[in-house]
Every structure is written in structure tokens, then in C-alpha cells.
Structure 1
């Protein structure tokens, strides 16, 4: 991870230079012996940008307005009214601290894809600035009784509604996709009626885990703690089961500690208090597993990014750095610690072809081509990269009625590439990207772990 602490460049300290060549505020060398110079000991330093909840002064100072972040922003590409991540990040941060100014409401149009972080050549913590600004906007400027706030709170806390729905999955699946009900949700809450709600599984992953008796492999040398996330638990337990079977194939003991939402949808909607509440539970239980000799594994790239980057950026929680330093995405971990390519060299699959989309949150971790690289030499399978465009859904973003058209415009390039790719199936590590891929093409979408299970597990 990039070190974003507030460091001072020693070469620019006035005290480190000869008295006659002190550096002035703009980095310009003062003329020696200039008349009227004020002795340093007689000056009072004014704090122009007082520190807020997060000290981002160093990051703001690193921005030299190159606009690389703006050109990489998928929202700015299709929405002319969106000012882009440069304004939402360092410019708004400075404006807010220099004047008594409100956070601009356009911050809620940022999808939190975090591509700006990867694009910035100066390591400006753009997404961290966006998260702080969103949180401040929601806390101080959004009416808690407004439709937008209530809708965003429900979407952010998906785990709560999913837990209730999973008690009666058949009824929930019918009710959530009943045409009149979807129409009412759009009119009352602003949740688009254009999307079909994902089905809830008849049996959650954690129910299956308890039923099978937990781990089938015991090992003091190879141990992982599985952070399955909400979606793999309630909606696609087949992905979580594939993760378990593949890791057990390699001799790992699997722990499934108590956990809550990773916080990704909460960050995107400015619900930082909710995110911190869940983060405290997650960090406590995952740090305990790490102390017991386990590494943390996530099968969703948004979850792994949240644990790795957003937690330590936003929360001062005991153990958060340990969790960050010891968290991995599932396929990434196997590629590091196991001879995965060697195992796959003898595997054969039945003539399957997939269009692979690398999620934005995989890109931020350098993982957006790992599935293509992993399966390119496996007999009987073809995995074709469908380009580097954003899928457009960005978690809860594409579920909002006012953002639906924007999300589909962003996804057009990906849809087009998928339709021209060989085969009629897709692959991605992100569950919401999978929703968008299926929604825009009609293809079935798989996780790389499911293909690994087919190739390696008898």
C-alpha cells in the first residue's frame, strides 16, 4: 500500500539552508540580504488549512492539477455536469478549509470506483478525500428524513435486509421482483425498476458451513480466515463453497470468523458511522484469527480493497494495520503461495469460453488481469479480456433511479466488447460487476474460483 502519512520534505526546510538563501512560501529562493526581511523568530504562523477528522494536507499539496484523474473517471466521461475527482478531492478539500463553504452536492455522483487513485502520478489520496467529503455531506447537509437519505441508508446496509430476506428466500425472491412492487420502490424510494433483484439462496453459505461441520482440513502451518462478504453468503454461496473446496484442495484449514459488511456500500454513500460500526467487529475478529496464525482471504475484490486500503485510511481501530497487511484476494493468495499454474497445467476443461471483466477495485490492487493470465494455458478454456472500461454499476450506484442511465452509459463499452468476444459467458471477481454484465448482455457470469473448482477438485 502507498504510504500516505504526512511527511515533510527535508530539502525544503528553511532551517536547513544558509540564512541568506531561505526558501519562501512558494518554493522561491529569497534574495540574500533583501531589505525589509522579517526575522523568522518574529513571525507568527497562520494555520490556513486546519486539520479535520483526517489530515489530508500532504495529499492535497501533492496535486499539481494535471487532470489525469479526471480523464480516468468513468462518471466524468459520460456526465458533463460532474466536475470530476480533482475538484471532489484536493480542490474541494482546500475550499472547505479556507472558507466557510459547504461540500458540493455533486460528491454524491462519485461512484467510488477509485480509478482516480490508480491514475494519479503523485499518489494523492483522492478516494480518501472523497470518502471524507461524502461523510461530511451526509452528516451535515443531507436531510435524514429525505427519500435520498432513507434509500441510501437501506442500500448501504444491504446485509440487514439480506439477513431478513434469507429467512424466507422464496417469498423474498417473488416479492422483490414482482412488477408492481418494483414500480412502487422506484416511485417511493428511488430504487430503479429497470433491474431485477438478485435472488436469495435457499441456504446461506454460513448455514451450509455449519451443516458440513466446519473445516474438513486441520493444519497449524496453512490456515486462512475467510471473509466471505454479504453477497457470497446470501446470494451466491456457490462462490464461497468453491473457495472452500479449492483451498482445502491445497491443504488449508479454513476459519470462518463472525463478520459484518466490509463497508464498501457505506463508503460509497457517505455512511461512515455505519461503516465504522461494522469495521470494528470485522477488525476485532480478523485480527484474532491473524494472531492465531491465519491470513485473511476475500473472494470479492471490493471486500479485499476495503480491508486493505479504506479501513486504515479512515479508521483508527486497534489491529486495523494487521488486518490490512495480512489480507489477500483468494486467487492472488494461491498464485503467491501455491504452484497454481503447475496444478492447472494438467487440467482439462470442456471447451468453455469466457469474456473476463477486471473490476475497478481489482485494478486498484493490481489484480485486474490475473484470471486471464491464470487460465490462458489451460486446455479447453479460453478467457478473453473484454477491455479496461468500468462496468458502471459501482455497487449501489447503478441501483439508484437517477443514476441508472449513467451506469448503463458507462457500461456500454464493456457490453459491446463482451458481445464481440468468443463465447456467451462472462467472468469477474466482483458480484455487482457480475450483475451489470448479466443485465447488459444476458450472459451467465462466473467467478474464477468456480472455474478453479471445476479444474482442480474431484
Structure 2
């Protein structure tokens, strides 16, 4: 590394002090370990000259008297090897990194040489142009977050799978950095009239499209998968024509809930507030129904409070203002349920991850920490609070069933990667095979973008192969978009663990 300077140096690169009446120390004729040690007397006098080398005669003896030297003869900023006090005159502190409301520098400084997150990133594995989560997070925070630097555009290629959080040995808040950087990029650098922005905004606000489609669900399901319509959507909006849109339910979960008269069990000592999310409401209400029946089987009073999208697709697309508006509504209604003695239950692992982790990381909303502390994934909550092993000990399905189980990335990040396998492994008539720890590749809206489609399928290839090698031809997962990818890549029917649990306990 070179440094521009107008000062004269000698041939060794050492700065000359002749103009100040001092000779340059130059380069020693022997290695540092071979040099005689220099002992500085307590009275500050210069050491006597060494008879063999003559190096004891120091032209800077006067300086040595003012500032003690270390054993190697190098002046110490701390006042000598025995001193623990810093001499403020020996250094000039500089605030290199400007602070802010969200200062993540402490976390960024924990990963100078570690690359665990990069090796765990499924996007980096298939996309040579993607620099990886270390660059997207810590390096942007440490090196590029200055007034004259923009957020790198590659942040939009992060799928928000959050595997980097799980891989990091130092608990660096990687996904928090990514979400913050992506939000700033979209807010200040992305063209708001671009096709990419409009497409991403539509995908991020899926709840709006689904609510409109649910008015005429059969017509919407047909139109969204009609060949010419799909071709136009790809050309005009960049949504890949290869993807099959999920069918919309003829009766949403909330419509079913209202029609049945709400909760069938009243129990103030065992209450849960169900956060069903968009997909279980508009596309797979059978999952929500299974959740209600199973929990009522165990004596719980189920509440279904007003709610909006968890914000997961908005985080992934940098729409943080949208996510905050939804979070404010969700926190307000969920904190009210918590006040009535309920814990919050989600049947989608991305929803539970959002409420648990991303909300308190990104938003300062009254009650948000309470919501985070009281949120659980549905099967997780039963495993904690009920004797599922005892309940399932004598259970037996009428017909034997085999499942190829995939643990979503957002389940792994919550420590739930084995919960379905462990729950059903001893049930007679059930064979449950874990198809490995690979990512499904779809990562919410990531695989719904034409420019990311091939990469998403390449990421999911390992999972597809393991599913096809498994004994069963029915897939299982807790994540709705992983279920889309599993079905898309294999043609298998996909179920949620709650559906199997409902069948097993006879709820």
C-alpha cells in the first residue's frame, strides 16, 4: 500500500528527520529478534552505548526521557509496556462511520474474515454475479454507508431466506442489515415508474390481489392461469409464464370462521390468537380449519383477531413503509388479544418469523416486543404445552401414508427444522422422510420474478431429487410458497403438518 506524501524519505521508506536535527532510524542491520533490548532507567536517562554495536547512543535521548520506550525500542502510545493509561496526545481519534438511528457497526465488525454466511447462501451458490450476504450486509454497513455512496443494486437479488442469520457464528444481524439496505435502495434509488418496481409492488402486496380475486374465485383462478394471459404477464410485468398461480378458495378461512359462529370452545385459561396470514385465508383455508380443530381438540379457545399481511413479501421487496402500516394494525390487534390471556399462533413459518424477529428489528411500535415474545409456530406451541407424544402413542392411520418433508428456511431459523419429523416418526402408519437441508429456491416472491425463475429452480433441484428418491409421493412443509415450489418441481400433492395432525388425533 502506498501513501502520497511530500516528505522526503530515505531509501528504506523511513521518513527523514534530518531537517529537525535527528537522524532517520532506517532499517536495522539485524532482525528485530537479534537486536539487544533497550532498558529505560526509571530516572529517564538514556541507555549507555553497547560496546559491540554502538546502538545505545540515541540521538533522540531527549525524547526518550519524555516518553518511555518499549522493549523493542519503539515509542509507545500508552506510555510504556507497564502503563495501562492511554496518552491522548499520542493518537488522533477519528469517527470514521457516521452514526444513525439504526447503527449496526458493532455487528459488522464481528466478521472480518468469516464467510460462513456466504457458503450458506443459496443464491450465491447459483448466481456468480451475486456477491453474497457478507457484502450485502456487513461490508455495505462498514465500507459503503457514506453520503457519497449508494446502496449496491445487487441487494435486490437477496431472496430474504435468512439462512445467513442461522449460519453466522457471531450473531451478526445480517438479515436486518439486508432489509434496511433493501428498503433504502427501493426508497431512494429505484425508479418508481419502472416495470420492476410496479411488478415488485404487486407481488409484495399479494393480499390486495387475493382479496380482489376472492370476490370471483373461480373466474380469477381460470384467468390467472390462462395461457395468453400468462404470456402477457411475462412480457409486460416479468412474471414467469412457467409458474402456476395457486387457486383461490371459494370460501375464505375468515368466511368459514364467521359461518361456523367463531370459537366452539370457551376456555379463558387456554387461549390462542390465530394469525392465519394471507395464503391460509385466500388459498388454503383447509390449513386454517385444521389448526382450529386441532387446537379445540386440546381444549383451547381460538381467537381470530383482525389482521393484515405479516409483511414478509414486503420485506423481501424493500417495501418497508407498506410493511410498517400492516405491522401497526397487526401489533394493535394482537396486543389486545395478548392482554386477554392469549398467545399468538401462526401456521406459516414466514409469518411467525416476521412477527418474532423482523418486526422488533425494524420497527419501533408500542407493544411490538410483547407480540414478539408471545408468538409461536402452531405445531411448535403444541409440542411445548401439550403431551403430543402421549397423544400420538396409540394413534394409527387407517391407511399407511408416506411423506417427503421439507423444512422451510424460516423454520430452520427458528430452530424448528425437525419438528414435523420428530412429531410423527413413531405414529403407526406414517412414514416421514426429511429430504435434506437444501432451500426450496422460491423464497416467497423471489421465484415469481422472470429474471430469477431459472435460478430458483436450480436452487430447488437438490430438494426435487431428494423428494423423488423418498418413499412417499406426498410432500409436506409449513411454508405455503415452499409448497408451491415442491408441487411445481415434482407434481406431488403437498400437505401441512397440521392437516396430518388433525387426521391423526381425530380432531
Q: Does the TM-score normalized on the shorter chain lie above 0.5?
A: yes
1:312 to 355, 360, 367: 360
1:292 to 340, 345, 370: 340
Aligned to 2:148: 100
Gaps of at least 5 residues in structure 2 are: 1-66, 70-75
1:254 to 290, 302, 310: 302
State the alpha-carbon separation in 2 of the partners of residues 236 and 390 from structure 1. Answer: 22
Structure 1 position 96, deviation (Å):
2.6
**8 Å Cα contact 2:392-2:504 kept in structure 1:** yes
Q: Which structure has the higher relative contact order (CA within 8 Å, separation 6+)?
A: 1
- How does 1:190-229 map onto structure 2 within 5 Å? 190-229=238-277
State the alpha-carbon separation in 2 of the partners of residues 38 and 390 from structure 1. Answer: 50
Give 3-state SS (helix, strand or coil) of 1:62's partner: coil
Which has more helix, going by share of residues?
A: 1
Aligned to 1:423: 472
**8 Å Cα contact 1:428-1:448 kept in structure 2:** yes
State the alpha-carbon separation in 1 of the partners of residues 79 and 179 from structure 2. Answer: 43
- How does 1:75-224 map onto structure 2 within 5 Å? 75-98=123-146, 100-224=148-272
Structure 1 position 248, deviation (Å):
0.2
State the alpha-carbon separation in 1 of the partners of residues 100 and 446 from structure 2. Answer: 27
1:372 to 421, 439, 455: 421
**8 Å Cα contact 1:95-1:101 kept in structure 2:** no
Structure 1 position 55, deviation (Å):
1.5
Give 3-state SS (helix, strand or coil) of 1:286's partner: helix
1:323 to 371, 389, 413: 371
1:361 to 402, 407, 410: 410
1:414 aligns with 2:498: no
Distance 1:49 1:249, change over 3 A: same
Structure 1 position 44, deviation (Å):
7.0
CA RMSD in angstroms comes to: 2.0
The runs of 4+ residues in structure 1 deviating greater than 2 Å are: 28-31, 37-47, 95-99
Structure 1 position 29, deviation (Å):
8.4
State the alpha-carbon separation in 2 of the partners of residues 182 and 380 from structure 1. Answer: 41
State the alpha-carbon separation in 1 of the partners of residues 100 and 435 from structure 2. Answer: 42
Give 3-state SS (helix, strand or coil) of 1:429's partner: coil
TM-score by length of 1: 0.92
Aligned to 2:111: 63
- How big is each residue's C-alpha offset from its partner over 1:85-141, in whole Å with a ceiling of 9 and x where there is no partner? 000010011223346111111100000000000000000000000000100100111
Structure possessing the higher radius of gyration over alpha carbons? 2
Which has the larger displacement, 374-383 or 53-62?
53-62
- How big is each residue's C-alpha offset from its partner over 1:197-252, in whole Å with a ceiling of 9 and x where there is no partner? 00000000000000000000001100000000000000000000000000000000
State the alpha-carbon separation in 2 of the partners of residues 141 and 189 from structure 1. Answer: 20
Aligned residue pairs, count: 433
